[in-house]
Amino acid sequence: MRTLLLYGDSNTHGTKPVTALGQSARYGREERWAGRLARFLPEWEVIAEGLPGRTTVHDDPVEGAHRNGLSVLPALLESHRPVDVVLVMLGTNDLKERFSVNAGDIALSLERLVRVILASGTGPEGAAPGVLLVSPPSITEVGCLAGMFAGGAAKSHALAAEVAAAAARAGVPFFDAGQVVTVSPVDGIHYGPEANPALASAFAATIKQHFP
């Protein structure tokens, strides 16, 4: 059985759209796209490593340094080795106003994560794991999270092209989640329930295509 590691943020964790700061409701295990993906891929062990607030490479001065996706990545790869494939879907939290980074910088940060994975030696027999680099869907500035992500919506529209270029530079396959799902109109960041089956189906097909 091969291992697929899903490395992401609240939208990999399965966080529901929120109407007030501090809320933290989560879709049930069987409802989340990660759980559905596991059922589409019975020959794989699917491990979801989704942390709400996780960034690509940034320590978060408000929500904590443990949100930094780069610093914890080597330990997670080691703890789950051998890892055949890592699906990376991050970048949404980098759009928060506090980080002041553009779409190109977010893509470069994702490329850095990819290169860490490829150099990790945590694949089967010490080889490099495969990587699927995913661009998250564009966000909207609505609801209780609008202020936190002020200016992020415009940046997010440029993200897919930048991440696709990063994937090409790193030599790994790319997937644009924005072609499959959109963010919830409730908070503009998280996914509604209809996104779970859509993402699971699309990711399953993509994994089978690139990692037969």
What integer pLDDT is reported at residue 37 of this predicted model? 99
Rounded CA-CA distance 39/33 in Å is 10
116-165: pLDDT as tens digits: 999 999 999 999 999 999 999 999 999 999 999 999 999 999 999 999 99
- pLDDT category at 2 given cuts 50, 70, 90 is very high
Q: Is 66:53 a contact under the CB 8 Å cutoff?
A: no
Show me where the domains of the chain are located: 2-210
Q: Which CATH superfamily is domain 2-210 in?
A: SGNH hydrolase (3.40.50.1110)
158-201: pLDDT as tens digits: 999 999 999 999 999 999 999 999 999 999 999 999 999 999 99
Q: 64-81 burial, b for 16+ CB within 10 Å, e for fewer?
A: eeebbbbebbeebbeebb
Rounded CA-CA distance 12/89 in Å is 8
